[in-house]
Amino acid sequence: MISVSILNGDLAHLAQTAELVAASGADALHYDVMDGRFVDNLSFGLPVLSSLRACTDLTIDTHLMIQDPLHFAERFVKAGADLLSFHIESRSDTAETIREIHSLGIPAGIAVSPDTPVEALFPVLPLLQKDDFILLMTVYPGLGGQQFLTRSVPKIAALSEIIRREQLPVHIEVDGGINAETGAQCRAAGADYLVAGSYLLRSEDPAAAVRSLRAPL
């Protein structure tokens, strides 16, 4: 799956950004929610998500970078989220938040910041179901346009091996600094969901950018 971060688009014309993403052949819109507390930045909230939902049929891949995702999960699903990820480093109980998202009828994602080891996921991996996913951040959450952290690649490979060994029906998503080169590195290590932002939205040929992210390894 190719998910496009609209945080890197024209924020005054989100409907047009959604149309551009759909025309590019990408699969989803990546919708970053920041509360100014979990990360030192603010972004979109519920009203913007509702408005975006009304103008696109694309999957909306919603990433909560907030302190209390359990408190807000139901509201974001009702506003239009099709996938909902939250950070294991947040204040909400991880297992309870996973169960809440499942009860709302959509896949749950556990996001992991660069300095958090994959071992932190071990207690909750058995709770994940088909189409759930792990979102490994390949930059520090909170700001777009950062350099890809190459030390993320072994982390992806380690998680992929655990998923394969335990036969878990889950995906690995990566987010941050993704382009044709870094995307290929992540895919080779085991990622199957890529979040791209400026690489696609600032490209002269967004469809070519999407094709490059899907190119054979």
The yes-or-no verdict on residue 87 having pLDDT over 90 is yes
| Torsion sign, CA atoms 61, 140, 167, 4 | positive
What integer pLDDT is reported at residue 146 of this predicted model?
79
Residue with tokens 């359990």: 70
Q: Is 192 designated active site?
A: no
- Dist CA 208 CA 26 (whole Å): 11
Q: Residue 122, exposed/middle/buried by CB under 10 A (0-12, 13-18, 19+)?
A: exposed
**Mean pLDDT score of the chain:** 96
pTM: 0.96
- Please check whether residue 214 is in contact with residue 24, taking contact to mean a CB–CB distance below 8 angstroms: no
The boundaries of the domain holding residue 164 are: 2-213
In angstroms, how far is the first alpha carbon of the chain from the final one? Answer: 15
Query: What are the pLDDT digits (tens) for 19-44?
Result: 999 999 999 999 999 999 999 999 99
- Dist CA 94 CA 51 (whole Å): 29
* Confidence grade of residue 8 (pLDDT, cut at 50, 70, 90): confident
The yes-or-no verdict on residue 110 having pLDDT over 90 is yes
Choose the catalytic residue: 35, 61, 132, 175: 175
Choose the catalytic residue: 10, 27, 32, 40: 32
The yes-or-no verdict on residue 145 having pLDDT over 70 is no
Q: What's 121's domain CATH number?
A: 3.20.20.70
Domain count, the chain: 1
Q: Is 32 designated active site?
A: yes
